[in-house]
Homo-oligomer: A and B are copies of this chain.
């Protein structure tokens, strides 16, 4: 029995994660049953369990993997040199989120929302998410320093507060988009700009 190749393993994991995303966003993290995911993935129960040790593991992986993918898109934008000005960054990040999260049949934004909720009483998930969001916020704080240096914002502004407010704007965009569905990246950009005028 030859060992399965690494690519094969990776593609199987992906296949299961994809199934999990679909089910989770359809039914919620805990209302989704392992059987839902198993059936959607097209694999057997045993197979799924050989890739993910438990449902909790699958939840953690589903949320953090989606976050990591999003990070790959967003972080470079934050590290752009020269730093993008606030309203362009707001539009850029929210647009990137929209583009990255909107998949065939599901929307990872909603998975993120579910992850925040789940993290309230799941320490492992909470830690993983905190690492991610703190990294994002730190990168925004760096941008804030550039903004101060280049005179885009006041020189006595606190980078950390600016970063917190900016991150709120983005997180709130995800909430509004998932819950009300009538917001666009443009709203964040122009709204912020006018609020800033």
Residue contact B178 to A169, C-beta cutoff 8 Å: no
- Tell yes or no: A12 within 8 A of B by CB: no
* A175 and B120 contact, Cβ closer than 8 Å, known pairs A154-B194, A163-B191, A165-B188: no
- Tell yes or no: A114 within 8 A of B by CB: yes
- Tell yes or no: A69 within 8 A of B by CB: no
Copies in the complex: 4
- Chain A 167-182, CB-CB to B under 8 Å as 1, else 0, gives 1111111011011100
Chain B residues with CB below 8 A from A18, complex form: none
- Tell yes or no: A80 within 8 A of B by CB: no
- Tell yes or no: A186 within 8 A of B by CB: yes
CA of A191 to CA of B170 in the docked complex: distance in angstroms?
14
- Chain A 127-144, CB-CB to B under 8 Å as 1, else 0, gives 001100110010000000
Chain B minimum-CB-distance residue to A168? B172
Chain B residues with CB below 8 A from A86, complex form: 195
Interface residues of A (CB under 8 A from B): 25-31, 86, 110, 113-114, 116-121, 126, 129-130, 133-134, 137, 153-154, 157-158, 160-173, 175-176, 178-180, 183, 186-188, 190-192, 194-197
Chain B residues with CB below 8 A from A170, complex form: 168, 172
Residue contact B178 to A161, C-beta cutoff 8 Å: no
Chain B residues with CB below 8 A from A187, complex form: 160-161, 164-165
Counting chain B CB atoms within 10 Å of each CB, the highest count among A113, A117, A167 belongs to: A117
What distance in Å separates the Cβ of A115 from its nearest Cβ neighbour in chain B?
8
Chain B residues with CB below 8 A from A118, complex form: 28, 117
CA of A163 to CA of B191 in the docked complex: distance in angstroms?
7
